[in-house]
A and B are shown apart, each in its own frame.
Chain A
Amino acid sequence: MRPIDPRLLQVARSTRRYIVAVIVTGVVTAVLVIVQARLLSGVIVDVTGDGLSFNRVSEAVVALAVVVLVRAAIAWGSEMLAVRASARAKEELRDATVRTVLASGPYGRAGSAPGEVATLVTRGIDGLDGYFARYLPQLVLAVIVPCAILLTLAGQDLLSALIVAVTIPLIPVFMILIGLYTKGQVERQWRTLAAVSTHVLDMIEGLPTLKMFGRAKEQAAAIRVMGDDYRSATVAVLRVSFLSSLALELLATLSIALVAVSVGIRLAEGQMSYSTALFVLLLAPEAYLPLRLVGQHFHAAAEGVDAADRVFTILDADQHSMGGTAPVPRYCVLRITDASVHFDGRTARALESVTFEAVAGSITALVGASGGGKTTLINAIMGFVPLTTGTMGVIGSEGAEVNLSDLDRQAWLSTVGWVPQRSKLIDSGAGSRTTIEGAVRLGRCDATVDEIWAALGAAGIAEEIKGLPAGLQTEIQLGATGLSAGQLQRIALARALVRRPRLLLLDEPTAGLDMVSEAAVVRAVRRIADDGAIVIVVAHRPALVAIAETVVRVASAVDEW
């Protein structure tokens, strides 16, 4: 990790204001530390010296009290500032991540597993608190405070200033050197810790298997042995890394002791005043404190920066996006010419050259072995995956073909009804609970209740929903649900129908349905085509192929071997 990550500082405009604020409070803190030492040493000298004026002392004590109050206020205020700035930056990073991943679609390079992204967006980015709220302010203090104290010391006692000036730069140098030496070891150690945890998780997930072979109980001993091995290895590494803090601590305390002793002896010999000696003694430790604290916050900061790195990787991943600006014509033909798809990093083509025309009022069935590229073709029409070769276009009433990639994507998709193999029935807010009405309304947000019922009727499920106690307001819970797979599939069909699509794309709409439900869906699909839509359906059962005017066998290159 670099001391300062410029990308992180550019995340939010508020971050730049925050940096300014941190520098200002850093300067004020340095001044206050010096003033406090001056006042305190003055008070002590005045009280113990001869001919003290009580008034002057009490004024100094009051001033000291004011300094203390201001320091407390700054400590409290800078903490607040830090948390606020950190919260803003986190919010901005989160928003950018979610927007990018969501926009890249299900096959986008940015999209890793949703759970992983969610962890990154919540717990991972929260790690930035350590960077913004702890490490960064301390780093600023570690630059400002020692410099200010050194200047003050130089004005008071050159020898003490020299001792501090020589030893202070040694601290970061030591930290870097020792850090470089132990970095590999410490990292290896953390990896081992991760390995122990992974091993235990592996055992836990494999418990049914272990139990079956009667070997579950003895694993406890194995875990203990592994833990012991890990402990002795860790302690060996800790010995080295604690040695580095020992060196730093020794350097700091011995320097302070050196200053104290040299000042004390010169004081006894009459070469220095009592007040200067006390002032120097009070200031010297303050010069070392912020540097030692930077080291402590470094680890917490590294975690957050690591998360931020992953966020930037997502944000920087080059995005494929379909979409131009051309308006969508009133098309009645979809023409696919020599279309193929080749995914990076795989030798086989996901979709081998396909050519056909789908016409309004007719049904085109895509058939072929599983893994042959039928779903890939549907995804290409939706714009989720780019074509490697070939073209896809729509033909309007004037007879000119417009390429799909030139169309305004939002407008193009608004003419398409899409029913994937496994529909996620959610409402537009992505709430964890949605009603049947909310799920269908995702298809068209301004649909009336009558239109929703009409779509459900066309999908052949209206009667069953009327029979439910809560009707349209029945909740669809993701995962467990009272609705059957067949019913959910037909609600997804209704969602596509409610937008009165010119093009309907169906991916195995009858998978998992019993004979009666299948017949209902087949009738619905035929009706929609008869009403003038272009229908393309991925079929794996004969009933859907039977009603199609056009059949296209789709195969991947693997299929041909």
Chain B
Amino acid sequence: MVRTLGPVWAAMVEERRMLSVAGVVGALASACAVALLGTAAWLIATAAGAPPVLTLTVAAVMVRAFALGRAFLRYGERLIGHAAALRGLTGLRVRVYGRLERLAPGGLAGFARGDLLTRLIADVDSALDLPLRVVLPWAQAALVSAGTVAFCVWLDPSAGLILGCSVVAALVLVPWAAATVTSRSERRIAPSKALLASTVVTALDASADLIAFGEQVTATRRIAVIDADVTSLTQRSSAALGIGSGLGVLLQGIAVVGVLVVAMPAVRQGLLQPVWLAVLALLPLAVFEVLAPLPGSALAYQRLRGSAARLDALELAADSVTEPVVPLMVPPGFRGLELRGVNAGWGAGGAQALRAIDLRVRAGEHLVIVGPSGAGKSTLAAVIMGFLAYEGSIELNGIELSLSGGDGIRGRIGLLAQRSHVFGTTIAENVRLGRPGLSDAQVWEALAAAQLDESVRRMPGGLDAEVGPLGMRLSGGESQRLALARILIDPPPLLILDEPTEHLDGATAEAIEQTIRAATASSTRITITHRLRGICPGDHVIVLRDGRIEAEGSCLELASGVGWFADQLRTELDELEMFEFIEGLPVGIAVIRVPTTGGSIIGG
């Protein structure tokens, strides 16, 4: 169990003291429940013999005491147990976050697919089940059963033996059978369910295509077939699921009948007082009520194993970057960045996204990296930020990146990415990420530099306006301006702009580009883009294609050559021509013309 539950077990073991207390209190509560029925049975059996009333009074008081004890002890157990388990949960959450912090972002490339990250968060939450639904119920049941069996053995050894056997079966055999059967059926059901989910996603994703080509009925039918498969698998395993509850009832009955059968001759031979027969016959009923939740525990354990395995995979995942043990100090300011023969790629065994990259940035220089999407431009930014492992040499201010470590260089380089992450908190908190402890006035200053101050003033709450999860209440342009303000608060010596206006419409993009140019005119910049608009004649341009540097030089040199840059330039000029043509057309009515074949709108 320890091995398969990995980090979940480790986190909960931290809280073992309070959890043990909860276990003992819970066991006492269960013991009270058993003793309640036992004492009541003794009371009735004794009363039948018309004894002195005092004997009955003691028993009657005990019955009430056990009744109160059971209720109050259960309350204490649940409170102590939940508090300890929640503390363990926090520990696990911090542990998982710490692991992700080391891995991100390069090492998470394999995890980021689908809703796996969300799944991981849910997996952490489900760790509560380990103490509360698996370990504590089982431990209590075991303790109470042991005590009851011992008491029965003292009364009548053979009756105790029978109760002992059925209790062990209910403690071990039934949960084991339930777990084994469900794990076998789950193993077959899980892939079918995954297939169902992926087919539904594919079909819904392509719903327009399926309808357009009249095949939506075929797709629905295929989904129904997969669903029927899932249903039949579930039904086949339903017989097994019933085993848990059926066996429980059966074992309880076997214990009652068995105890009666062996105790009856003992009564007749005078070895056992008749009063105790009622107690012996009723104790199994009480004990099996404590054992009833165990099949459910087994299922909870099965589900927990899946969650724990995913968390364990995270612990075992390889770091994308090996941080140095003793990082070298990078001199302050910016004196130069130089890459020589750099190869890099995402994930282990992934294709090399960058091959043999050589480049150099001097202080005050504006470098532009252009190329089609997928050429490796963002990978290059990630490598320079220290997010990805690399081969070759990268020196910042003369210190090799792998020796200074990622944390050492990141204060020196700022990145404005395609989609900046906006945290689900207030405007002010998002800006203060750039430098903690900033006054409101300084925050306004940064917002003004990013030209976001006017919009913030209009928001309800101003600086304290909540931006919503992932900044959903902000427009795309506002999000990027907020990210810009965050960087401008403490301008880094080197700034990397990775297509910060890529997802914005034309007018917004234009305005933000102007803001960025104005606010960062004096800093050293690397601009990454797939469009040529906005490149200044004086900028040094590197053309990246398929992970290699295709060409390098000034705008003029590249425009007169052949290759991606020249093609792209022609396309963008075409678009300008198109724009002018459209502006001359009336809106909403047809214009009849003579087609040309030369590819130009005006013709020949």
> When the two chains form their complex, are residues A83 and B238 in contact, meaning their CB atoms are under 8 A apart?
yes
> When the two chains form their complex, are residues B253 and A253 in contact, meaning their CB atoms are under 8 A apart?
no
- Contact digits for A520-561, partner B, Cβ 8 Å, 1 yes 0 no: 001000100000000000001111011111111111000110
- Chain B residue with Cβ nearest A559: B587
> When the two chains form their complex, are residues A549 and B257 in contact, meaning their CB atoms are under 8 A apart?
no
> When the two chains form their complex, are residues B67 and A256 in contact, meaning their CB atoms are under 8 A apart?
yes
- Chain B contacts for A268, CB-based, 8 A: 47, 50-51, 53, 56
- Chain A residue with Cβ nearest B85: A231
A68-B256, A211-B104 provided; 10 other pairs, C-beta below 8 A?
A64-B256, A91-B228, A202-B470, A207-B108, A256-B67, A261-B63, A264-B56, A355-B590, A553-B585, A555-B588
Binds B, one of A115-123, A167-175, A177-185, A397-405: A115-123
The 8 Å CB contact of A122, one of B33, B197, B434, is B197
- Chain B residue with Cβ nearest A280: B44
- Contact digits for B240-284, partner A, Cβ 8 Å, 1 yes 0 no: 011111111110111011001101100110000011011001100
> When the two chains form their complex, are residues B193 and A47 in contact, meaning their CB atoms are under 8 A apart?
no
Interface CB pairs A-B, < 8 A, 9: A44-B278, A47-B260, A76-B246, A121-B196, A122-B197, A246-B72, A274-B44, A428-B210, A553-B586
Given A47-B274, A227-B93, A551 contacting B593 (CB threshold 8 A): yes
- The majority secondary structure among interface residues of chain B is helix
Chain A residues 41 to 85 lying within 8 A of chain B, measured CB to CB, are 43-44, 47-48, 57, 61, 64-65, 67-69, 71-73, 75-80, 82-84
The 3 A-B residue pairs with the shortest CB-CB distance, nearest first, are A68-B253, A76-B246, A227-B90
> When the two chains form their complex, are residues A542 and B224 in contact, meaning their CB atoms are under 8 A apart?
no
> When the two chains form their complex, are residues A98 and B223 in contact, meaning their CB atoms are under 8 A apart?
yes
> When the two chains form their complex, are residues A432 and B587 in contact, meaning their CB atoms are under 8 A apart?
no
Q: Provide the bound-state CA to CA distance between A386 and B90, in Å.
A: 51
Looking at the assembled complex, report how far the CB atom of B63 sits from the nearest CB atom of chain A, in whole angstroms.
Answer: 5
> When the two chains form their complex, are residues A551 and B590 in contact, meaning their CB atoms are under 8 A apart?
yes
- Chain B contacts for A198, CB-based, 8 A: 424, 469
> When the two chains form their complex, are residues A203 and B97 in contact, meaning their CB atoms are under 8 A apart?
yes
Chain A residues 382 to 441 lying within 8 A of chain B, measured CB to CB, are 382, 384, 410, 413-414, 416, 418, 420, 423-424, 426, 428-432
> When the two chains form their complex, are residues B212 and A249 in contact, meaning their CB atoms are under 8 A apart?
no
Q: Provide the bound-state CA to CA distance between A223 and B585, in Å.
A: 58
> When the two chains form their complex, are residues B281 and A40 in contact, meaning their CB atoms are under 8 A apart?
yes
> When the two chains form their complex, are residues A43 and B209 in contact, meaning their CB atoms are under 8 A apart?
no
Q: Provide the bound-state CA to CA distance between A35 and B420, in Å.
A: 71
A476: Cβ under 8 A from any B Cβ: no
- Chain B residue with Cβ nearest A384: B208
- Chain B contacts for A99, CB-based, 8 A: 220
Q: Provide the bound-state CA to CA distance between A71 and B97, in Å.
A: 50
Given A254-B67, A541-B574, A227 contacting B78 (CB threshold 8 A): no
Looking at the assembled complex, report how far the CB atom of B4 sits from the nearest CB atom of chain A, in whole angstroms.
Answer: 23
Given A79-B246, A208-B105, A522-B599, A102 contacting B207 (CB threshold 8 A): yes
> When the two chains form their complex, are residues B253 and A75 in contact, meaning their CB atoms are under 8 A apart?
no
> When the two chains form their complex, are residues B597 and A546 in contact, meaning their CB atoms are under 8 A apart?
yes
Binds B, one of A19-27, A214-222, A448-456, A465-473: A214-222
- Chain B contacts for A353, CB-based, 8 A: 588
Q: Provide the bound-state CA to CA distance between A201 and B410, in Å.
A: 22
Given A69-B253, A353-B588, A420-B209, A48 contacting B277 (CB threshold 8 A): yes
> When the two chains form their complex, are residues A214 and B407 in contact, meaning their CB atoms are under 8 A apart?
yes
Q: Provide the bound-state CA to CA distance between A515 and B599, in Å.
A: 11
Q: Provide the bound-state CA to CA distance between A519 and B253, in Å.
A: 83
- Chain A contacts for B483, CB-based, 8 A: 209
Given A118-B200, A219-B101, A265-B56, A213 contacting B575 (CB threshold 8 A): no
- Contact digits for A364-384, partner B, Cβ 8 Å, 1 yes 0 no: 100111110000000000101
The 8 Å CB contact of B86, one of A231, A250, A281, is A231
Binds A, one of B19-27, B34-42, B354-362: B34-42
> When the two chains form their complex, are residues A87 and B469 in contact, meaning their CB atoms are under 8 A apart?
no
- Chain B contacts for A289, CB-based, 8 A: 289
Binds A, one of B115-123, B336-344, B517-525: B115-123
A193: Cβ under 8 A from any B Cβ: yes
The 8 Å CB contact of A274, one of B48, B202, B220, is B48
The 8 Å CB contact of B599, one of A111, A117, A546, is A546
> When the two chains form their complex, are residues A68 and B249 in contact, meaning their CB atoms are under 8 A apart?
yes
- Chain B contacts for A242, CB-based, 8 A: 75, 78-79
Binds A, one of B391-399, B535-543, B576-584: B576-584
Q: Provide the bound-state CA to CA distance between A334 and B207, in Å.
A: 25
How many residue pairs link A and B with beta carbons under 8 A? The number is: 488
The 8 Å CB contact of A424, one of B209, B228, B407, is B209
A101: Cβ under 8 A from any B Cβ: yes
Given A211-B387, A214-B411, A428-B218, A47 contacting B97 (CB threshold 8 A): no
> When the two chains form their complex, are residues B60 and A429 in contact, meaning their CB atoms are under 8 A apart?
no
Given A227-B90, A549-B593, A285 contacting B98 (CB threshold 8 A): no
Residue among A239, A426, A547 with most chain B CB within 10 A: A426
B437: Cβ under 8 A from any A Cβ: no
Looking at the assembled complex, report how far the CB atom of A149 sits from the nearest CB atom of chain B, in whole angstroms.
Answer: 15
> When the two chains form their complex, are residues B121 and A208 in contact, meaning their CB atoms are under 8 A apart?
no
> When the two chains form their complex, are residues B597 and A282 in contact, meaning their CB atoms are under 8 A apart?
no
Given A65-B253, A546-B596, A243 contacting B75 (CB threshold 8 A): yes
Given A257-B40, A416-B212, A550 contacting B592 (CB threshold 8 A): yes
The 8 Å CB contact of A428, one of B46, B215, B469, is B215
> When the two chains form their complex, are residues A429 and B218 in contact, meaning their CB atoms are under 8 A apart?
yes
Looking at the assembled complex, report how far the CB atom of A439 sits from the nearest CB atom of chain B, in whole angstroms.
Answer: 10
B204: Cβ under 8 A from any A Cβ: yes
A324: Cβ under 8 A from any B Cβ: no
- Contact digits for B376-405, partner A, Cβ 8 Å, 1 yes 0 no: 000000000101000000000000000000
Chain A residues 211 to 262 lying within 8 A of chain B, measured CB to CB, are 211-217, 219-220, 223-224, 227-228, 230-231, 234-235, 238-239, 242-243, 245-246, 249-250, 253-254, 256-257, 260-261
Looking at the assembled complex, report how far the CB atom of B94 sits from the nearest CB atom of chain A, in whole angstroms.
Answer: 5
Chain A residues 255 to 311 lying within 8 A of chain B, measured CB to CB, are 256-257, 260-261, 263-265, 267-268, 270, 274, 277-278, 281-282, 285, 289
- Contact digits for B60-90, partner A, Cβ 8 Å, 1 yes 0 no: 1001101110111011001100110011011
A4: Cβ under 8 A from any B Cβ: no
Q: Provide the bound-state CA to CA distance between A554 and B591, in Å.
A: 12
Q: Provide the bound-state CA to CA distance between A260 and B586, in Å.
A: 95
- Contact digits for B331-350, partner A, Cβ 8 Å, 1 yes 0 no: 00000000000000000000
Residue among B60, B204, B256, B415 with most chain A CB within 10 A: B204
- Chain A residue with Cβ nearest B200: A118
- Contact digits for A93-121, partner B, Cβ 8 Å, 1 yes 0 no: 01100110111111000010011011101
Q: Provide the bound-state CA to CA distance between A49 and B7, in Å.
A: 60
> When the two chains form their complex, are residues A281 and B41 in contact, meaning their CB atoms are under 8 A apart?
yes
- Chain A residue with Cβ nearest B434: A213
B423: Cβ under 8 A from any A Cβ: yes
Looking at the assembled complex, report how far the CB atom of B264 sits from the nearest CB atom of chain A, in whole angstroms.
Answer: 5
Given A72-B249, A117-B204, A432-B198, A43 contacting B260 (CB threshold 8 A): yes
- Chain A contacts for B75, CB-based, 8 A: 242-243, 245-246, 249
Q: Provide the bound-state CA to CA distance between A287 and B309, in Å.
A: 42
- Chain B contacts for A384, CB-based, 8 A: 208, 211
Q: Provide the bound-state CA to CA distance between A246 and B43, in Å.
A: 26
Given A72-B247, A102-B216, A201-B121, A115 contacting B201 (CB threshold 8 A): yes
Looking at the assembled complex, report how far the CB atom of B378 sits from the nearest CB atom of chain A, in whole angstroms.
Answer: 11
> When the two chains form their complex, are residues B597 and A211 in contact, meaning their CB atoms are under 8 A apart?
no
B183: Cβ under 8 A from any A Cβ: no
> When the two chains form their complex, are residues A414 and B205 in contact, meaning their CB atoms are under 8 A apart?
no
> When the two chains form their complex, are residues A254 and B64 in contact, meaning their CB atoms are under 8 A apart?
yes
- Chain A contacts for B201, CB-based, 8 A: 114-115, 118
Q: Provide the bound-state CA to CA distance between A552 and B587, in Å.
A: 7
> When the two chains form their complex, are residues A75 and B245 in contact, meaning their CB atoms are under 8 A apart?
yes
A191: Cβ under 8 A from any B Cβ: no
- Contact digits for B473-493, partner A, Cβ 8 Å, 1 yes 0 no: 000000000010010000000
> When the two chains form their complex, are residues B581 and A542 in contact, meaning their CB atoms are under 8 A apart?
yes
Q: Provide the bound-state CA to CA distance between A203 and B93, in Å.
A: 12
